[in-house]
Structure 1
Amino acid sequence: MKASFILAGLLVLFSGCAAQDTEIGSFSKHLNSPSPVKVGLIAINDFHGALEPPGRTVSVELDNGTVAEVPAGGAAWLATTIDELRARHPYNLTVAAGDLTSASQLASSLFLDEAAIGVMNRIGLDLTAVGNHEFDRGWQELRRLQNGGCEKLANREPCAVEPDFAGASYEYLAANVRMADGSTVFPGTALRTFGEAPNAVTIGFVGLTLKGTAELVVPGGVAGLTFEDEAETINRATTALDEAGADAIVVLIHQGILTDPKSQPNGCADAAGPLLPILPKLDSRVDVIISGHTHWQYICDWPSGDGSKEFLLTSAGFHGILATDINLSIDPQSGDVLSKSAENIAVRSPAFGDTPIEASLPPVAPRADVKEYVARYVDAAQAFEDRPAGHLSQTLEESDDYERGGALGRLIADAQLAATRENGAQIAFMNPGGVRAPLRPSPDGALTFGQIFRTQPFGNVLVTMTLTGAQIRQVLEEQLADDRDEVQILSPSAGFDFTFDRSRAEGQRIVSLSLMGAPLQPDQTYRVTVSNFLAEGGDGFSGFKLGTDRQIGLSDLEALEAWLKVTPPREAPIQERATEIVGSAHL
């Protein structure tokens, strides 16, 4: 992006160098452009406090063309992988696209994710965008994680393991998150320079979260904040960074796409999702878009809206199972990005369960200091981790349908209904975005508190309210509204069933509603239980805010544990309760 030197400037430059270069032809050598400056960016996203290996695999294509599933993740193994990637690049920076904290493993979440911050400090993270989950405990608590200190701003005691918690040594960027006075809650952009003058290059970074963040967190935690449009924010920041001398523009955005589930980590086959409508609106001066939020892995060149270039678009999945190795080559004279490429690298960790280790891809060595640091928090959480918490008849995985919570979501809804019957509850709803991990009981069906915590790590409480049948229909219509970034089909409790048809006009897509086999009556009132997150309009379900006669119940975890503490083990609710039909007749 730099302006070209005029000829007179070149002659002055050459005359100053002539005394040091007396070889014949030295003038012609100086006419050549300086060598490109090569910068490596190592990127992650959606770490979610995954201190220990999360029991997940990634697909890796082997030299012979076959694909192996490789155990991946864990902070100490991620640290080693990032160290190895840094070694490839004399100039490098480590960055992230949000959601490093919250919805975390027990050992991190119990201690307000101070452990996740400490891990990222030791790994050497430089910059990160904020994500929606960074606001789960409120923006004041997020500022504490950035700045350090032990002020109690959330529901647990801070500094329980590290009395001198100093906060993040890296910088949060939040270009589209504004406070009431118009300032951003964190800086929006950053500039980093690589190389030696006059042949140095500067990369500008803009970091932001998705515009819909306020709908994905407890509203009270973001009261007074405004989340601005993503494309407008990026374009405004791009102009400012360009004027400040940036040669390349890198966007760290907590929003993403989905691809074909069978796609390898370095492709974008069948791309869809909420980031796609944003990309054509972006300034063509953007070079790289490092994304997240959807927990998907992909790399591709995506055309700019005006067709003048292609953006490099990347995401490294979630839970630290991948790290993206990005290569930029920049001409220090013209400021042009000459080439850009990326590869998702598996964070190879030890085998788990019956997952074999591919002989050609053994685990990397865990970095000792990070492993020791994680162990401090794991040991502190052990008493909570191992406590018996009930029985389940079979393993319930997270739903492979992004929109639904599956049988696990229905199990949680049943637990919440049972826990609030004394408050008059007749129906309970569970949002699929709140189901965060599978439940995998031991052979005798036993589950631990650590297991159920990973499934519901947010610490929500249950709210039972009164809604009319018409208001319940309104809430369920909100699932399918045309302007939703992400469709989420609520999981209902046993006895409540509904059908829907997406082909019908907006507002008329719920075809039928019934409770215990009887149609819901529009004017009749019903007692409905949801989490406080949904009760305050989370996930875009504003209809729940209409509920009256509210009563606060147990926490969601207490409800689930009480439901599972039965003998014989609790049976899984396999039968669908929300059924999609196509081409239904209008009622």
Structure 2
Amino acid sequence: MPNVGQLGRFRRPAYAAAVAVGLFGTLLVPSAAQAHGWDWNWDWHKPKTEDLQILAINDLHGNLEPPAGSSGNIKEVDPATGKVIDTPAGGMEYLATALRQAREGHPNTVTVAAGDLVGASPLVSALFHDEPTIEALNKVGLDVTSVGNHEFDEGSKELLRLQNGGCHPTDGCYQEGREFDGADFQYLAANVTNEKTGRPILKPYWVKNVRGVKVGFIGATLEGTPNIVTAAGIQGLKFGDEIETINKYAKELKHRGVDSIVALIHEGGYPASTTYNYDCGAAGQGISGPIVDIAKGLDPAIGAIVTGHTHNAYACSIPDPQGVPRSVTSAASFGRLYTEINLKLDKRTGAIVRPSVTAANHVVRRTVEKAPDITSLISQYSKLAAPIANRSLGFIGADINGRGSSAFEKPLGDVIADGQLAGLAAADKGGAQIAFMNPGGIRSDLVYKASGAEGDGVVTYGEAFTVQPFTNMMQVKTLTGAQVIQLLKEQVSGGNTAAPKILQVSKGLTYTLNLNKTGADRVPADSVKLNGAPIDPAAKYRVAANEFLAGGGDGFPTFAAGTDKLVGASDLDLFAAYLGANSSATAPLAVPAQDRIKIIGVGEDID
């Protein structure tokens, strides 16, 4: 088992304290009276608490450059008008400056994260297996992070390489004479264990000595990671219950004399407001989702909870098992926000003074100075990537929103699904009649004005890769009409009841989504049609999807029941081919009409 509970990389204060104890041990050892909190005159002048600042991010996804389009905006209230506006935010050059400025005046500060720092990344990071992002985070001063589900996109061995360093086993080193050093910060994976040994694949916690007070950080990802990562990525791993695991290590930390504890969890919630610093209230009524029950079940000794995964922004209080409000935060995604948590550590008990905890999200505005060292790093990798990234694929006539769209049916989702259908419709390619795309796999927008190095409207390979970064292989399977209908019902039932995952569908397939109903009833079976004709439950249809969906991922087990599988090209290749075949400089690709899903009722897209 790994040597858990080690001190962080900043050891000088701990070393000085150890020397002091060695020289003046009889003066520093607390008496029985002190241990019980009695206040003697001789120590009246000593501080009873120590301040600690925690800066937190989550779900960066390798966005070194400012995210494009609506994916690069953050919603906030305009103080002049009181209206909600979109503010451009994010970019590692700006994030680095913001974090460095936030640390000023705070001698005790720790920078943490709640997972998904890499994976589903734009080309400038993904082309180099996210080494650039790890190097940027080293420069920014990240201390510790939990793993997220996307840290397993390339498997646990690759995750360990990102932690420990070394050149990629297949691609080798990217610069002559220079080997990748790995992360200076510590990845934590308390609830990710080796199936054979039962031991965590990485340290479950990390301890920082803050002027004599030990602060422990426990890191975990969502138990449901196997449902949202390809099977190859989590082979040989087991993902444990978040509450049970974190409480287990909280107990272990307390046994080791660490009474100040912070949880870093790659799981999150859905706030009632989309504005960046939404306060859910002392009782947490304004937030829903998995993190609510998790927070309510975690040991009261845990003084603050940093979360991620849902890409939402909130700074909330959720009651602990004793009913006492506790800070729970999330900083949206893509480096557009950072959270600042300030708290006091009780020097006598070693615990976090819970009433002292304050938390707020801050926008990473692009009006601050860029950090020169990060600019240099991005420039270095951009030059290496340029021959591939700048290749022109096609043209668009206006913004085609995907990740940044709040609609259930996303314009870019229609384009991607149409591309998959077009590329797999031929008999020798699979004979696809329907194509489905998972909404979470659409990672960005296609933006007209910022599109391409060669002019407005040009779509480059780098931009297409940012939209479809997983390079999943496509599959075509035979499903009955009843199974097609069941797939559409699984969007809003089973594991997707609380957080619907609305599939993007290819042209020709239409159906109704009735938000006034609940569960599977939201998709009436008789509303599902293909090319205007009702789907026949007894008939057989050839259905295309990427390998993740086709394997039953994202809560769609019916996909896995398909037969006569044919493996096709990658999703990215089909997307690129479709752009090239269906657009030109004089006839750019238009924004789809979004008329495939008929919505009844009112609701929000929370995929």
Percent identity of paired positions between Structure 1 and Structure 2: 39
Find 1:128's aligned residue among 145, 155, 159. 145
Cα distance 1:33–1:405, how it changes in 2: closer, same or farther (>3 A)?
farther
Cα distance 1:507–1:62, how it changes in 2: closer, same or farther (>3 A)?
closer
**Other-structure match for 1:17:** none
The secondary structure found in structure 1 opposite 2:466 is helix
Q: How many angstroms apart in 2 are the aligned matches of 1:202 and 1:535?
A: 47
Q: How many angstroms apart in 2 are the aligned matches of 1:160 and 1:120?
A: 18
Contact 2:473 2:546 in 1 (8 A): yes
**Other-structure match for 1:551:** 566
The secondary structure found in structure 1 opposite 2:288 is coil
The secondary structure found in structure 2 opposite 1:288 is strand
Shift of 1:31: 5.1
**Other-structure match for 1:186:** 202
Cα distance 1:508–1:321, how it changes in 2: closer, same or farther (>3 A)?
closer
Q: Which amino acid aligns with 2:298?
A: L
Contact 1:456 1:557 in 2 (8 A): yes
Q: How many angstroms apart in 2 are the aligned matches of 1:276 and 1:39?
A: 25
**Other-structure match for 2:26:** none
Q: How many angstroms apart in 2 are the aligned matches of 1:444 and 1:70?
A: 22
Q: How many angstroms apart in 1 are the aligned matches of 2:558 and 2:573?
A: 26
Mapping of residues 530-541 of structure 1, within 5 Å:
530-541=545-556
**Other-structure match for 1:573:** 592
Write out per-residue CA displacement over residues 86-111 of structure 1, whole angstroms, 9 at most, x where no aligned residue: 22311111110001001112100111
Is 2:107 the partner of 1:94? Answer: no
Q: Which amino acid aligns with 1:91?
A: N
**Other-structure match for 1:561:** 576
Cα distance 1:176–1:58, how it changes in 2: closer, same or farther (>3 A)?
same
Cα distance 1:91–1:37, how it changes in 2: closer, same or farther (>3 A)?
same
Cα distance 1:209–1:12, how it changes in 2: closer, same or farther (>3 A)?
closer
Cα distance 1:573–1:344, how it changes in 2: closer, same or farther (>3 A)?
same
The secondary structure found in structure 1 opposite 2:333 is coil
**Other-structure match for 2:506:** 493
Cα distance 1:372–1:107, how it changes in 2: closer, same or farther (>3 A)?
same
Write out per-residue CA displacement over residues 484-529 of structure 1, whole angstroms, 9 at most, x where no aligned residue: 3631011111111222446667555531322112222222211111
Cα distance 1:35–1:263, how it changes in 2: closer, same or farther (>3 A)?
same
Cα distance 1:211–1:403, how it changes in 2: closer, same or farther (>3 A)?
farther
Q: How many angstroms apart in 2 are the aligned matches of 1:251 and 1:147?
A: 23
Write out per-residue CA displacement over residues 359-417 of structure 1, whole angstroms, 9 at most, x where no aligned residue: xxxx2222222211111111111122221111223211236666835121111101100
Q: How many angstroms apart in 2 are the aligned matches of 1:13 and 1:280?
A: 29
Q: Which amino acid aligns with 1:333?
A: R
Is 2:416 the partner of 1:416? Answer: no
**Other-structure match for 2:303:** 287
Between 64-73 and 44-53, the greater mean CA deviation after superposition: 64-73
Q: Which amino acid aligns with 2:253?
A: L
Cα distance 1:61–1:413, how it changes in 2: closer, same or farther (>3 A)?
closer
**Other-structure match for 1:23:** none
Contact 1:111 1:158 in 2 (8 A): no
Cα distance 1:194–1:279, how it changes in 2: closer, same or farther (>3 A)?
same
Write out per-residue CA displacement over residues 104-137 of structure 1, whole angstroms, 9 at most, x where no aligned residue: 1210011111101111111121110001111111
Is 2:523 the partner of 1:523? Answer: no
Q: How many angstroms apart in 2 are the aligned matches of 1:279 and 1:418?
A: 46
The secondary structure found in structure 1 opposite 2:293 is coil
Is 2:48 the partner of 1:35? Answer: yes
Mapping of residues 421-440 of structure 1, within 5 Å:
421-422=425-426, 423-440=430-447
Shift of 1:266: 5.0
Is 2:360 the partner of 1:343? Answer: yes
Shift of 1:347: 2.0
Is 2:288 the partner of 1:272? Answer: yes
Q: How many angstroms apart in 1 are the aligned matches of 2:40 and 2:161?
A: 57
Q: Which amino acid aligns with 1:538?
A: G
Find 1:231's aligned residue among 243, 259, 281. 243
Q: Which amino acid aligns with 1:133?
A: H
Aligned length, in residue pairs: 547
Cα distance 1:96–1:415, how it changes in 2: closer, same or farther (>3 A)?
same
Cα distance 1:158–1:218, how it changes in 2: closer, same or farther (>3 A)?
farther
Q: TM-score, normalised by structure 2?
A: 0.84
Structure 1 residue runs without a partner (length 5+): 15-25, 350-362
Cα distance 1:473–1:39, how it changes in 2: closer, same or farther (>3 A)?
same
Contact 2:301 2:351 in 1 (8 A): no
Q: How many angstroms apart in 2 are the aligned matches of 1:380 and 1:453?
A: 16
Contact 1:161 1:380 in 2 (8 A): no
**Other-structure match for 1:315:** 330
Q: TM-score, normalised by structure 1?
A: 0.87
Mapping of residues 448-487 of structure 1, within 5 Å:
448-484=460-496, 486-487=499-500
Mapping of residues 189-208 of structure 1, within 5 Å:
189-195=205-211, 200-208=212-220
Q: Which amino acid aligns with 1:241?
A: L
Q: How many angstroms apart in 1 are the aligned matches of 2:169 and 2:141?
A: 27
Shift of 1:300: 2.3
Q: Which amino acid aligns with 1:304?
A: D
Structure 2 residue runs without a partner (length 5+): 1-28, 450-454, 603-607
Contact 2:392 2:459 in 1 (8 A): yes
Q: How many angstroms apart in 1 are the aligned matches of 2:146 and 2:35?
A: 44
Is 2:322 the partner of 1:306? Answer: yes
**Other-structure match for 1:359:** none
Contact 2:414 2:594 in 1 (8 A): no
Q: Which amino acid aligns with 1:222?
A: I
Contact 2:259 2:301 in 1 (8 A): no
The secondary structure found in structure 2 opposite 1:398 is coil
Contact 2:278 2:314 in 1 (8 A): yes
**Other-structure match for 1:58:** 74
Between 574-583 and 408-417, the greater mean CA deviation after superposition: 574-583
